[in-house]
A and B are shown apart, each in its own frame.
Chain A
Amino acid sequence: MKLLYFAWVRQQTGVNEECVTPPNHVNNVAALIDWLRERGPQYARAFEDVSALRVAINHELVDFDAKLSKDDEVALFPPVTGG
């Protein structure tokens, strides 16, 4: 699974993108975020408050209950501000 981080999420995790292989029980977005938090203090900080977190799977915005599969590209970022 490919993960991408943008804006302050990228700054807090310290990573632009990475490939990860979460365990099988991590089958939706909420479970992925819980799993990421355990990966280190910078992840715990980045995902401490998820109220301002948005998630896209394969370029589509999704809710936290969206299902994941191992070939997905998952992006985690703050609310967008285009224009």
Chain B
Amino acid sequence: MTVRIQEHDFDVNAELAALTVGQHHVGGLVSFIGLVRDFGELQSVASMTLEHYPGMTEKILGKIASEAAERWNLSSSLIIHRYGYLEPGDRIVLVAAASEHRVSAFDACEFIVDWLKTKAPFWKLEEGNGNAKWVTARMDDTAASARWSVKK
């Protein structure tokens, strides 16, 4: 279970490879990469600046990873979340889950991403064409997060 919050980019291949080194019982490694889009609540997004709450962010991400480990039989999991100034195409987040069987890995990865959306203390400022807008929380993200609230 690894959690990192950092300003700089990450090497996807190296991060994923490190998750399963020597773990030959792992049958599936599922990963998700979140990217900055060139559109959002603003029609044209030139940059996105992510702010977070140092101290709380580490705790919440750790709790989300622990919850995933309790719900599924995972060999390892990874959350890397960036903050700071990003541009369209830049990576924001890498989530990965490794398990003996693919279903657990898929479910755990999706669960972590859904909970990040509604629980991790990040805020996103979109800027473009002279406009600036804080991204608002989405109802469908809340619904996606809530469907995991009953333990399987």
Contacts from A to B (Cβ < 8 Å)? 4, 6-8, 10, 52, 56, 59, 75, 77-83
Q: Which residues of B contact A10 (CB under 8 A)?
A: 51
Interface residues of B: mostly helix, strand, loop or mixed? mixed
Most B-side CB within 10 Å, residue of A6, A10, A78: A6
Given contacts A6-B51, A59-B55, A59-B59, contact A82 B134 (CB under 8 A): no
- Chain A nearest Cβ from B78, distance in angstroms: 14
Q: Indicate if the CB atoms of B121 and A80 lie closer than 8 Å.
A: yes
Kindly state whether residue B117 has any CB partner on chain A within 8 Å: yes
Most B-side CB within 10 Å, residue of A4, A10, A77, A80: A80
Q: What are 14 A-B interface contacts by the 8 Å CB criterion?
A: A4-B53, A56-B53, A56-B56, A59-B60, A77-B53, A77-B123, A78-B136, A79-B136, A81-B137, A82-B81, A82-B122, A83-B93, A83-B117, A83-B141
Q: Which residues of B contact A81 (CB under 8 A)?
A: 117, 122-124, 135-138, 141
Q: How far is the CA of A77 from the CA of B120 in the complex (A)?
A: 12
Q: Indicate if the CB atoms of B137 and A80 lie closer than 8 Å.
A: yes
Q: Indicate if the CB atoms of A82 and B53 lie closer than 8 Å.
A: no
Q: Indicate if the CB atoms of B51 and A7 lie closer than 8 Å.
A: yes
Kindly state whether residue B25 has any CB partner on chain A within 8 Å: no
For A11, the closest partner residue in chain B by CB is B134
